[in-house]
Amino acid sequence: MESAYTLKCAGRKTVCCSTNRDQEVRPMEVEIKLRLPDRDAYEKVASQLASSKTASYAQENYFFDGDANQLEATHTVLRLRFYNGNDKATVTIKGKQVLEKGIGRASEVEEEVPDAAAARQWLQEPSKMLEAVPLVHQLKEKLGIQHLVGMGGFGNQRDVFQWEGETLELDQTSYEWGTMYEIEVETVNPEVLKPKLETFLTSNAIQHSYSKSSKFGNFKNRSLL
């Protein structure tokens, strides 16, 4: 298998394994997204939060579209993600993320794949997801997708911490054209929590800025914003 850093292929609300049409009314994911300038800043955050670390994941992220670009046309993202090899796999459908002053909002539904190892066949035969995954089948019916094509992907190392009663995710995302570092905190109170997070970073002399693009946006545009 290729490295998670050169991938190629042929805490949020979730909706799991159902064909209920009500899933089309998607929950909204709201998260704080702050960029870190380099590995040194990343290490400082990890060190400050070390005692509250709860998990660590090597993630592989793969993306797909219809053969007539139906998902791009509707600002929809279809992602297949693997955790720590074949420990877990999820399929996620996201709407276009709107980022403003370090707060991102996007519709999102997700379901876990029962057999992560078997899901690897979808990297070579992505159209099988149209029938195998209820969420993707809904896309097929709604948008008239007959075939899926792989767009490629990227690797992400995610360390998870508890902070201020919330889940803070520290990411090192590796694209073919470079690496970026980011903090994400999913929360229902982003306007309250963001100043606290910035104060925490500033008080520990950790430089940061607002993220200007989603990870998928950076992947699609070959950027590091």
* Domain locations in the chain as residue ranges: 21-220
Entry pTM: 0.89
Least Cα distance to 111 among 1, 17, 225 occurs for 17
User: In the structure, what pLDDT confidence band is assigned to residue 27 with cuts at 50, 70 and 90?
Assistant: confident
pLDDT tens digit string along 173-223?
A: 999 999 999 999 999 999 999 999 999 999 999 999 999 999 999 999 999
Do 74 and 2 form a contact (C-beta atoms < 8 A)? no
The Cα 9–Cα 125 span in angstroms is: 9
Give the pLDDT confidence score for residue 80 in this predicted structure: 98
Task: Identify the residue with better confidence: 2 or 97.
Answer: 97
User: Within its chain, how far is the Cα of 102 from the centroid?
Assistant: 16
pLDDT tens digit string along 119-169?
A: 999 999 999 999 999 999 999 999 999 999 999 999 999 999 999 999 999
Q: What is the CA radius of gyration of the chain?
A: 17
At 22, is the secondary structure helix, strand, or coil?
helix
The Cα 40–Cα 46 span in angstroms is: 10
Query: Residue-wise over 151-172: b if at least 16 C-beta within 10 A, else e?
Result: bbbbbbbbbbbebeebbbbbbb
First to last CA, the chain: 29
**Which of the residue ranges 20-24, 45-49, 65-69, 191-195 would you say has the lowest mean pLDDT?**
20-24
Give the pLDDT confidence score for residue 5 in this predicted structure: 33
The Cα 149–Cα 125 span in angstroms is: 8
At 1, is the secondary structure helix, strand, or coil?
coil
Q: What are the C-alpha distances in Å from 200 to residues 33, 38, 61, 111, 163? A: 15, 17, 30, 34, 10
Question: For residue 197, which phi and psi values (nearest 5 degrees)?
Answer: -65, -40
* 81's tokens: 């993600």
Could you tell me the sign of the dihedral formed by the alpha carbons of 197, 99, 144, 69, in that order? negative
pLDDT tens digit string along 79-98?
A: 999 999 999 999 999 999 99
Question: For residue 99, which phi and psi values (nearest 5 degrees)?
Answer: -110, 125
Average pLDDT in the 25-43 region? 92
Do 155 and 5 form a contact (C-beta atoms < 8 A)? yes
Q: What is the CATH number of domain 21-220?
A: 2.40.320.10
Give the pLDDT confidence score for residue 26 in this predicted structure: 56
Question: DSSP code of 127?
Answer: G
Give the pLDDT confidence score for residue 15 in this predicted structure: 35
